[in-house]
C-alpha cells in the first residue's frame, strides 16, 4: 500500500500482501463466494403473505439504504420457490434474528413444504407475518425492484420498525457467529473504573475474551498452512469423525449453510481428498485422512506449545474455573 509522506500508517502490517487466491468470478463462483463470505453480515428471515399464501426465506443480503424516506433492501434468487410471491406481493417483513435463533435460520433456508407450521408468529400491522423471538421487525411495502442477474433486488419502504432485547446472530465465512467486543476495545465499559475485590477478579473475564481471540487467530495460521479455510476444515473433520454422512447431514452437523457445505465438499473432491460414493455417502480418501490427521497433530502440538511450562496444578485450577463458567452460563440459556 502506498502512503504519502508524513501520513500515518494505519497499522504495522499494512504492507502489500499477495492474495491467497484470485481470479475471475465469472468462471470461478466458489472463489467469488469465498471472497464475499469475508464480509460479515447479520441474518434475517423475510416473510410475506398474499391472499392466504405465505412465504419466508433466510437471507444475509439485507442492508439499509436510506433514512429519508426509510428504505431497506435485500435480494432474492430467481431459483427460490418463493420468488413469485415476493415479486408480486407488494409487501414483506424483515425479521432480524437473535443469536439464539440459529435453528430458525436453518429452518427457513430449507426446502420444507410449510415453513410456518411449527413456527411461532403473528400477523403484523401491515399484513406480513412477524416471527417471535427476533431482535427487530421491519414491516415494509415494496418500493422498487431492480433486476440483478440471477437475483432481484427488492427495496422496501419501512412502515413500522420495532426492536427487542437480545444479541444479533451473525454470519461470516459460511459460519454462524456471535458478536462480542474486539479485545482491543478493553476494558469493557462495565468493568472500567470498578475496584475489584480480589486482584484476579477484575481482570479474569476480559483476559478470557482476549486469550480466546488471540488463540483462535494464531491457530488460524496453522489451518492456512494446511491450505484449508475454516469451512473446508470443519467439513473434513466432520466426514472423518462420521464417515458415510450425506451432504445435508454434513450441513446439519457442521452448522454451515447448504451452499457453503457444497462448496467445501466440491473443493475437497477437486483436491482428491474426498469421494462421493454411488449412494451419495461421503468418504475421505487416504489424502483426505492424512490432511485431517495433520491438522489434528498441529492442534495437539499447538496446545502443548501454548501450555508448556505451566504447572499441572495451575492447569487443573484453570480448567475447573472455565468448566464452572461454562456450566453456569449454559444453565442460564
Ligand atoms: C445464511 C444464508 C443466507 C442466505 N441469503 C440469501 C439471500 O440473500 N437471498 C436468497 O434468495 N437466498 C438466500 N439464502 C438461501 C435461501 O434461504 C433459500 O434458498 C430459500 O429459503 C429457499 O426457499 P424457497 O422455499 O423459497 O425455495 C440464504 C441461505 C442462508 C443459509
Query: How many domains does the structure of the chain reveal?
Result: 2
Same domain, 123 and 227: no
Q: Is the pTM of this model over 0.85?
A: no
Same domain, 315 and 225: yes
Q: What is the pLDDT of residue 221?
A: 86
In-domain check, residue 211? yes
Grade residue 206 by pLDDT with cuts at 50, 70 and 90. confident
In-domain check, residue 18? no
Q: Does the pLDDT value for residue 328 go beyond 70?
A: yes
Pocket test for ligand 1, best of 74, 80, 89, 96 (most atoms within 8 A of CB): 80
> What are the two backbone dihedrals, phi and then psi, of residue 49, each rounded to the nearest 5 degrees?
-145, 130
In-domain check, residue 236? yes
Same domain, 195 and 325: yes
Read off the pLDDT of each residue in 136-153 and give the average, rounded to a whole number: 98
Q: What is the pLDDT of residue 47?
A: 98
Same domain, 199 and 95: no
Same domain, 202 and 130: no
d(C-alpha 133, C-alpha 118), whole Å: 14
In-domain check, residue 194? yes
d(C-alpha 183, C-alpha 215), whole Å: 12
Distance (angstroms) between ligand 1 centre and the Cα of 107 equals 11
Pocket test for ligand 1, best of 57, 61, 104 (most atoms within 8 A of CB): 57
**201 or 164, greater pLDDT:** 164
Separation in Å, CA 322 to CA 117, 205, 310, 319, 328: 40, 10, 16, 5, 10
Q: In the chain, what percentage of residues exceed pLDDT 70?
A: 89
Distance between terminal CA atoms of the chain? Answer: 46
Lowest mean pLDDT among 127-131, 206-210, 281-285: 206-210
Same domain, 216 and 320: yes
Same domain, 64 and 147: yes
Distance of CA 177 to the CA centre of its chain: 5
pLDDT (tens digit, 9 = 90+) per residue, 58-100? 999 999 999 999 999 999 999 999 999 999 999 999 999 999 9
In-domain check, residue 142? yes
**DSSP β-bridge partners for residue 162:** 137
Which of 136, 171, 206 is the last residue in one of the domains? 171
Separation in Å, CA 314 to CA 42, 105, 200: 39, 41, 14
Per the listing, cell 473475564 goes with 205
Q: Answer left, alpha or beta for residue 166, where phi above 0 means left and psi between -120 and 50 means alpha.
A: left
**DSSP β-bridge partners for residue 136:** 96, 163
In-domain check, residue 267? yes
Same domain, 193 and 314: yes
Q: Which atom of ligand 1 is nearest to the CA of 62?
A: 8
Which of 124, 144, 171 is the last residue in one of the domains? 171
Distance (angstroms) between ligand 1 centre and the Cα of 273 equals 28
Same domain, 159 and 254: no
Q: Which atom of ligand 1 is nearest to the CA of 257?
A: 31
Same domain, 102 and 244: no
Which of 138, 171, 204 is the last residue in one of the domains? 171
Same domain, 188 and 100: no
d(C-alpha 241, C-alpha 162), whole Å: 44
CATH of the domain at 198: 1.10.10.10
d(C-alpha 3, C-alpha 213), whole Å: 30
Q: Which atom of ligand 1 is nearest to the CA of 105?
A: 31
- Residues with a CB atom less than 6 Å from ligand 1: 43, 57-61, 75-77, 80-82, 108-109, 111, 171, 257
Give the Cα-Cα-Cα angle 26, 27, 28 (nearest 5 degrees). 100
Grade residue 1 by pLDDT with cuts at 50, 70 and 90. very low
Read off the pLDDT of each residue in 160-186 and give the average, rounded to a whole number: 88
**Neighbour tally for 235: CB within 10 Å:** 30
CATH of the domain at 104: 2.30.110.10
What domain range includes position 166?
41-171
Same domain, 123 and 166: yes
Grade residue 186 by pLDDT with cuts at 50, 70 and 90. low
Contact 247, 261 (CB under 8 A): yes
Per the listing, cell 491457530 goes with 219
Amino acid at each position: 500500500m502506498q502512503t504519502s509522506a508524513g501520513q500515518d500508517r494505519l497499522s504495522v502490517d499494512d504492507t502489500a500482501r499477495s492474495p491467497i487466491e484470485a481470479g475471475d468470478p465469472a468462471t470461478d463462483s466458489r472463489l467469488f463466494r469465498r471472497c464475499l463470505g469475508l464480509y460479515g453480515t447479520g441474518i434475517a428471515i423475510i416473510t410475506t403473505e398474499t391472499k392466504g399464501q405465505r412465504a419466508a426465506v433466510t437471507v444475509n443480503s439485507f442492508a439499509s439504504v436510506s433514512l429519508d424516506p426509510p428504505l431497506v433492501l435485500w435480494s432474492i434468487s430467481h431459483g427460490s420457490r418463493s420468488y413469485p410471491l415476493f415479486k408480486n406481493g407488494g409487501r414483506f417483513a424483515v425479521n432480524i434474528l437473535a443469536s439464539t435463533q440459529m435453528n430458525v435460520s436453518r429452518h427457513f433456508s430449507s426446502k420444507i413444504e410449510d415453513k410456518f407450521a411449527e413456527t411461532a408468529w403473528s400477523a403484523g400491522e401491515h399484513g406480513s407475518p412477524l416471527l417471535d423471538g427476533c431482535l427487530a421487525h421491519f414491516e415494509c411495502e415494496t418500493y422498487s425492484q431492480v433486476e440483478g442477474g440471477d437475483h432481484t433486488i427488492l427495496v422496501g419502504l419501512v412502515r413500522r420498525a420495532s426492536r427487542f432485547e437480545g444479541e444479533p446472530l451473525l454470519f461470516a465465512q459460511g459460519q454462524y457467529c456471535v458478536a462480542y467486543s474486539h479485545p482491543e476495545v478493553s476494558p469493557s465499559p462495565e468493568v472500567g473504573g470498578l475496584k475489584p475485590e480480589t486482584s484476579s477478579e477484575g481482570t479474569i473475564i476480559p483476559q478470557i475474551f482476549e486469550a480466546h481471540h488471540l488463540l483462535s487467530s494464531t491457530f488460524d495460521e496453522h489451518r492456512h498452512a494446511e491450505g484449508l479455510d475454516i469451512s473446508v476444515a470443519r467439513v473434513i473433520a466432520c466426514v472423518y469423525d462420521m464417515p458415510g454422512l450425506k451432504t445435508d447431514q454434513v450441513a446439519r452437523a457442521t452448522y454451515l449453510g447448504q451452499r457453503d457445505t457444497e462448496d467445501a465438499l466440491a473443493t475437497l473432491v477437486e483436491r482428491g481428498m474426498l469421494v462421493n460414493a454411488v449412494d451419495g455417502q461421503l468418504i475421505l480418501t487416504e489424502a483426505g485422512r492424512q490432511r485431517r490427521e495433520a491438522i489434528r497433530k498441529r492442534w495437539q502440538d499447538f496446545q502443548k506449545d501454548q501450555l508448556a511450562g505451566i504447572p499441572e496444578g495451575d492447569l487443573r485450577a484453570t480448567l475447573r474455573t472455565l468448566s464452572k463458567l461454562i456450566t453456569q452460563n449454559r444453565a442460564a440459556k
